[in-house]
Amino acid sequence: MNRTPLVAGNWKMYKTIAEARQLVPELVRGLKEIQGVQKVICPPFTSLMSVKALLEGSGIHLGAQNLFWEKEGAYTGEVSPTMVAEVCEYVIIGHSERRIYFGETDETVNRKIKAALEVGLIPIFCVGETFDENEKGLTVSVVRRQVEAGLQGIELRQNGHGDVPLLVAYEPVWAIGTGKAASGEFANEVVREIIRPALASLFGEKIAGSIRVLYGGSVKASNAAEFFEQTEIDGALVGGASLKADEFIGIVCAAAVI
């Protein structure tokens, strides 16, 4: 399948507005000449409007890190899909940190994905097993359950360009922020043997083959090519390295070269 690579930077809870205003112009300068790969930046909610203005005309897309599934209501501290869609094109949903620290489940992730799609946002849907689950040989059952439960009851269609408005990010929890990335071969096997078959069971082979699957977990400029050269990996969801302009630019370069 001819799937356009995509690299997204998840800033997590880093960068004030002032710091974002320093970083984004560096990214815009460094990324403007790189063709053949889509770029997405996902800063904290507080910086979205400032970053959006700085990205104007750059070709770099903007994403949020989360949303709530209700359109409006008495939900103090939450941000609705409609609010996110006013500013962003993409939204990260189901990140392991949301699952671990904030009690998100397959059911709530499913509700968020449905709500995002309803307002035209493109979800970056995260799945991945913990260290204990990996050690116990549960990678297959855990990742398949997350994919199937997270996308239950959802209909996906290709647009005129063959694109599907959903990305899946395989992020083994034991590799996130630890400096210990999975090998490219291992990650590719998980996508080929678990994620795409699960997607095919939900949407059919054609749609499953069109959905871009990213890898996330200690991706750096120095190891990105190992993942991007794999046949089933279509880019990366980058954490810590997205906070450094030279690192993120290097990762995008590696995706463009493959």
Q: Which one of the listed residues 97, 104, 171, 226 is annotated catalytic?
A: 171
Three-state DSSP class for residue 161: coil
Q: Does residue 95 carry a catalytic annotation?
A: yes
> Is 124 in contact with 63 (CB distance < 8 Å)?
yes
Q: Which one of the listed residues 95, 129, 226, 232 is annotated catalytic?
A: 95
Instruction: Give how far Cα 89 sits from Cα of 39, 81, 118, Å.
Output: 12, 11, 13
3-state helix, strand, coil in the chain (%, to 5): 45, 15, 40
Instruction: Give how far Cα 240 sits from Cα of 8, 115, 184, 247, Å.
Output: 12, 28, 19, 9
Q: Does residue 161 carry a catalytic annotation?
A: no
CA–CA dist 26, 100 (Å, integer) = 33
Catalytic residues: 95, 171
